[in-house]
Structure 1
Amino acid sequence: MCQFPMRSSVFIRRAKSAVWGAAALWTVAASCTSAYRGLKPASGDPACIQRFKPALGTALYKTEVDADNHPLSGLLVLKAMPDSSTRVVFTSETGLTFFDFAFAADGTFTVHHIIDQMNKKALIKTLRKDFELVLLKHTTQGRVLTKGHELFYAFPQEKGTNYYITDSACTRLDRIEKASKRRAVVTAWMMDYREGVPDSVSIVHHIKLLVKKIPFTIALKRIPS
C-alpha cells in the first residue's frame, strides 16, 4: 500500500483515541458471552434511522486510512449522482486517484478505478462494506431491539447483522456496529451532523484483514465547502 506523510491533525488523534478505546472494550466483550445476548424486542419504527443517512450533494473529507501503522492520506469525495447512485473517490492531495467506487440505488457496486497496490479482492470487499455501512445501504428490512438506555436498529445482512445504535428517542446516533452473532467486527461513528451530513466519520475493524490480524482504521474530517 502506498504511504504518504500525514500532517498533524487533531481529528485524526481523537479518532484514533476513540478507535483504540473501542477496540479495548471489544476485546473484553469478545472474551465473554455474546455482546448482543441481552437485547430485547422494543417498539419503534426501523425507518427512524433514515434520518441519519448522509444527505449528500457533494461532501469533501480530509482522510486517513491506516492499515498496520502504514497511513495513506488524502481527500475523499462523496457525491450524489443524477442517477441516484453515490460516487466515492479517494485521491492524494497531489491528484493521484487511489480508488473510485460507485454505489447504485439498486445495490450494484462498481469499481471504476483502483491503484494496483490496493487492488486486492478482500480489501475492495472491506472498503465496500465500510462505505455501505455509513451510507446506510441495506437498511430497508429491520427490527428494533433495546438494551439499557439504547435502541439497536438491527438489519440482517448476508453475513451477520448491522446495528445502528441510538439513544432511547432515536434522536442521536451513538455508533454503528457490523456484527457476527457474538461480537462487533466493525464499529463506526458519524458525528456532528451539519445540514444532514456528518462532520467526522471514524471506522475501526476488530478482525483479520487480508489474512493477518492488523489494525485497520479510517478517519474522515469534513472540509467546509
Structure 2
Amino acid sequence: MRYLLLSSCLIILAGCSSVYKNLQPATGNINYIQKFKPDFKNTLYKAEIDVVGHHLSGLLLIKTLPDSSIRMVFSNEIGFKFFDFEFRLNGGFKVLYVIKQMGKKPVIKTLKKDFELILLLERDTQNAYLRKDDNSMYYIFPKEKGSFCYITDLNGTEMKAMEISSPHKPIVLAIMKNYTSDIPDTIGITHTNFNFIIGLKKIER
C-alpha cells in the first residue's frame, strides 16, 4: 500500500508548481478549502508508516471527541500503542503517549505537521492567499519557514494534493482520495527529503 501511495504522490508532485510566486493571482474565499476537511467522527484506518529507519504497520484510529478535539491513536493489531496524540480546538497539541523509537522531538514535530495538514487545522487566514495556473487553484497559508498549500481543480470540486513547502521547494506531499460521507478512503503522506512515508486505507466497520 505504501508504495502505491508513494507513486501517486510523486506523480502529483511532478505536476505541482512549488514556486507559488510565479503562479497567477486569483480571487475567491480562502475558507472555501474547508469543504474538504474530513469529518473524522470515529474512523479506523489500516496504517503503514516508515519513519526513522523503522517500518510500522497496524491500525490508526482518528476520533473527534465531544469538545471537538481530535485523538489519533496508532497501535498494532493486538493493541500495543505506538503513539497517542491529541489535537485541540484552540490549536494546542499534546502527546499522550509515544514509544521511545518515535519519541524524538524532530519526529514528533514532523508527525504533528503532517497530521495538521491532512486534518485541515490551518486557522490563520490573515496572511493566506490564492494563486492559480491553467489547471489548478492553490490555497496558500504562509508559515514562519515555508507554507501549507492545498491544491484543487479550478472549479473547486476535487482536492488534488496538499503540500508543506520550504521557501524553495515542497518537502511534504499528501493526497486524500475517494471521499465517502466526508471521509477519505485513502490517505498518503510522503516526504521528499528523507524516508518518511505514511499510508492509510480506511477499514469499513
TM (normalized to structure 2)? Answer: 0.92
Q: 1:165 pairs with 130, 147, 151, which one?
A: 151
Please, which runs of 5 or more residues in structure 2 have no aligned partner? Answer: none
- The range that moved more, 174-183 or 12-21, is 12-21
* Equivalences, count: 202
Tell me the CA shift for residue 116 of structure 1.
Answer: 1.1
* Matched ranges for 1:66-77 at <5 A: 66-67=50-51, 70-77=54-61
Q: Which amino acid aligns with 2:183?
A: V
Which position in structure 1 is the counterpart of 2:22? 38
Alpha-carbon separation, structure 2, partners of 1:79 and 1:116:
24
CA offset digits 1:123-152 (Å, max 9, x no partner):
000000000000001244021111122100
Which position in structure 2 is the counterpart of 1:219? 199
Moved over 4 A (4+): 20-23
Which position in structure 2 is the counterpart of 1:100? 84
Alpha-carbon separation, structure 1, partners of 2:100 and 2:62:
22
* Matched ranges for 1:1-225 at <5 A: 11-21=1-11, 25=14, 35-67=19-51, 70-141=54-125, 142-207=128-193, 214-225=194-205
Alpha-carbon separation, structure 2, partners of 1:168 and 1:69:
39
Alpha-carbon separation, structure 2, partners of 1:17 and 1:224:
24
Alpha-carbon separation, structure 2, partners of 1:147 and 1:94:
48
Specify which structure has the higher proportion of strand: 2
Tell me the CA shift for residue 36 of structure 1.
Answer: 2.6
CA offset digits 1:12-69 (Å, max 9, x no partner):
342132245457x49xx8xxxx633421211111111101100121100000001366
Identity level (%) = 41
Q: CA RMSD for the aligned pairs?
A: 1.8
Tell me the CA shift for residue 158 of structure 1.
Answer: 2.8
Q: Which amino acid aligns with 1:174?
A: K
Contact 1:139 1:155 in 2 (8 A): no
Contact 2:145 2:167 in 1 (8 A): no
Please, which runs of 5 or more residues in structure 1 have no aligned partner? Answer: 1-10, 208-213
CA separation of 1:42 and 1:19: change in aligned 2, threshold 3 A? closer
